[in-house]
Amino acid sequence: MSIPTGHRLIACQDCDLLHRQRLLRDGERAKCTRCGAVLYRNKRNSLDRTLVFSLTGIILFLMANLFPFLTFQYEGRVQESVLFTGVKELLVQDMWMVAILVLMVSIIIPLLKIIGTLYVLLPLKVNRRPWRAAFMFRLVEALHPWAMVDVYMLGVIVAMVKLSDFATIVPGAALYSFAALLISMAAASAALNPHEVWEQLDVADRI
């Protein structure tokens, strides 16, 4: 059996040192006195900002997946591709393991992450606790390193430059949406304060 020790103690994730938790001012962060890891932060309007960027993210995600991503022009031949085409072509070429990995980290996991964040935070905004909130938020946290929209964007740039000598590559609406999605997801991650969400879920539980 386990019982919480109250909210006064916090242990460092990296070196296990115990600290007494203090109230922080906006924008302040508490660091471990032994190893320097960030213990917790106080972010201003964290919930609102995360919600705004996640809602923007949903719209941009749809645009990035539905509109043409890149158009390839070579001696009068025009070939249009969408975000999913890469996965499809990898499957056609029998590279199914790589195809599934690319599909997961560039499309499915970013989508799950945005939906999961909204699922937990929207009800919290109106002081409600969604069904299986803890499980969902644990999932959102676990998915974080596997949502690779930012890395994918760099891959796009490298591919475009590689082909620039040989053919004309025209960026489509989806590419711009994807770039904006990367910014809104990064902003949502920067705004999110997991520490605060867990404490709010804890309070919501007791009402």
Residues that bind another protein (CB under 8 A): 1-5, 9-11, 13-18, 33-37, 40, 70, 72, 74, 77, 79, 81, 85-90, 93, 95, 97-99, 101-102, 105-106, 134-135, 137-138, 141, 145-146, 148, 151-152, 154-159, 161-163, 165-167, 169, 194-195, 198, 201-202
3-state secondary structure of 127: coil
Closer residue to another protein (CB): 52 or 123: 123
Question: How many angstroms separate the most distant Cα atoms in the chain?
Answer: 71
Closer residue to another protein (CB): 90 or 114: 90
Name 73's bridge partners.
78, 168
How far apart are alpha carbons 188 and 113 in whole angstroms? 11
Distances (CA, A) of 79 to 65, 69, 84, 158, 178: 17, 11, 14, 19, 19
- What's the min distance (Å) between Cβ of 151 and another protein? 5
- What's the min distance (Å) between Cβ of 194 and another protein? 8
Evaluate whether 24 touches 30 at the Cβ level (below 8 Å): yes
Closer residue to another protein (CB): 98 or 122: 98
